[in-house]
Amino acid sequence: MDFDAGEGFDQTAVRVVPATAEQWPRLGHVFGPRRKDPNSCWCQRFLRHEEPDNRSALRREVQEAEVPIGLVAYLNDDVVGWTRVVPRSTLPGIIENRALARILDDDPDAWWVSCFVVRREYRGKGIGAALLDAAVDWAAQHGASTLEGHPVDTCGPASTPSPSAIFTGTLAMFQRAGFTEIGRTYPTRPVMRRKLLHR
């Protein structure tokens, strides 16, 4: 899957690929200095595991998943971004969240894009948008009825999030990718949905 990165790269293509076992040795670079800390998030925020640390948990997921659980973005063969896109039912932190439960319907075929990680020096360049576009295609290819996410509305008067707070993406990014808001769990936290046609 190849996607134009948008503004900032002058037609330079971002290559987005499934996070297979062969991607693992390079995937850690996306997390920057945090890659040295095995107890950093490592995209485990909405999960539970029995591994000794979060890095080990993600490594096991990436290396053993029958269907890759995420996508990796490359720019000129340098890994620059990551997103997790999986069936919603596999994320305890989503399906057990009471605020989300009031908004979401019971759809076993719904998928969820839970996080975006972009290397600091590439932020604001369209990498996240390329990952989200790829996530839409990836979910559709695997039979998802919808793809959903829980980004941050960074444009409201009460919204001044830190960069680390927008790991779930931004409202504007989801809107540009054709998602529709279906409700909010908090004034700055919309729930976004895009209906999919299986591909």
**Choice between 14 and 4, residue whose per-residue pLDDT is larger:** 14
Which residues 6+ apart lie within 8 Å of 14 measured at CB?
2, 3, 4, 5, 73, 74, 75, 80, 81, 126, 127, 130
Mean pLDDT, rounded, for 27-54: 93
Residue 4: inside a domain: no
- 191 domain residue, yes or no: yes
- The verdict on residue 100 lying in a domain is yes
| H/E element, 193 | strand 189-195
Provide the pairing of β-strand 189-195 with 146-149.
Answer: antiparallel
Q: What is the pLDDT of the chain when averaged over all its residues? A: 90
Residue 58 lies in a domain: yes
Is residue 69 in some structural domain?
A: yes
Write down the pLDDT at residue 125.
Answer: 87
- Tell me, yes or no, whether 112 lies in a domain: yes
Spatial distance between the Cα atoms of 149 and 139, rounded to a whole number of angstroms: 12
Cβ–Cβ under 8 Å, residues 145 and 195: yes
Overall domain count for the chain: 1
* Residue 52, domain member (yes or no): yes
Q: Which residue, 24, 76, 14, is CA-closest to 55?
A: 24
Q: What is the pTM assigned to this prediction? A: 0.90
Domain range spanning residue 121? 18-195
